[in-house]
Structure 1
Amino acid sequence: MTAKEKLEVIVRALDMKRGENIQVLEISDLTILADYFVIVNGTSNTHVKTLADEAEFKLSEKGVEPLRTEGYQSASWIILDYGDIVVHVFMKDARSLYQLENLWADGTAVDITSYLTKE
């Protein structure tokens, strides 16, 4: 699967489970950590776990497994590392505290509107 195909699966999964404020940043020109960061927040610890589980499940159905996962114990910030894509699932207050969008502001915002459900 290409990175763009994985991004679509991830964003659709997060949107389907009502993830809030989904953002995708292309960071390939800034770091070797990944090509993309997906950032989303949930409304509770349970919601954060559900979002991470759904993204992981939908990619697993396509034969793609994360290299690493972190944060399931506290569920205030769960990270799914797919090598080229790192998914950050936050509680709203943790997202505000760490402000990844500001930290990686030199990254390029990716237009994901075509992946989102129209309400």
Structure 2
Amino acid sequence: MDNNEILQVIANACDDKRAEDIVALDMQDVSLMADYFLVCHGSNERQVQAIAGAIKETMEETDIHVKRMEGFEQARWILVDLDDIVCHIFHEDERYYYNLERLWGDASRIELHIAGSR
């Protein structure tokens, strides 16, 4: 499975937990941290944790190892590190405060085809 396919799988896992405004950014030309960022948000801490848990569970089902998960307890900004892909799951308030899409404005967006899109 290549990174674009993995991004699609992650986006669908997020959508299954009703994540909002799911965005994938191609970071290859703008950052050395990761090749891709996936950014989304939930409306409360419990939903943010559910989204992060769905990513972890889905990746384990496809034999992709989650390197690290940070911020799960506070559930205001959870970072899921999958090596080439880093997922940022925000609480809605923090999403608009940190505004990663604007911060990394030079990164191009990747079109996502979310299966259960509302």
User: Is the TM value for this pair above 0.5?
Assistant: yes
Deviations 1:9-36, CA, capped at 9 Å, x for gaps: 1001001111001011101011111111
Runs of 4+ with >3 A deviation: none
Q: Which residues of structure 1 form unaligned runs of 5+?
A: none
How many residues in Structure 1 have an aligned counterpart in Structure 2?
118
What root-mean-square deviation, in Å, do the aligned CA atoms of Structure 1 and Structure 2 show? Answer: 1.0
TM-score (norm 2): 0.95
Task: Supply the AA of the counterpart residue of 1:2.
Answer: D
Find the counterpart in structure 2 of residue 117 from structure 1.
116
Residue 75 of structure 1 aligns to a residue whose secondary structure is coil
For 1:54-93, list aligned pairs within 5 A: 54-93=54-93
Give secondary structure in 2 for the equivalent of 1:115: coil
* Identical pairs, percent: 35
The residue that corresponds to 1:2 in the other structure is 2
Task: Provide the rounded CA distance (Å) in 2 between the counterparts of 1:19 and 1:47.
Answer: 8
> What displacement does 1:118 show?
4.2
1:83 is displaced (CA, Å) by 1.0
Q: What is the alpha-carbon distance in structure 2 between the residues aligned to residue 52 and residue 92 of structure 1?
A: 14
Looking at structure 1, the residues matched to 65 and 5 of structure 2 have their Cα atoms a distance apart, in angstroms, of 14
Please name the residue that 1:102 is paired with: 102
2:15–2:117 CA contact under 8 A, matched in 1 = no
Q: Which residue of 2 aligns with 1:21?
A: 21
For structure 2, the residue ranges without an aligned partner over 5 or more in a row are none
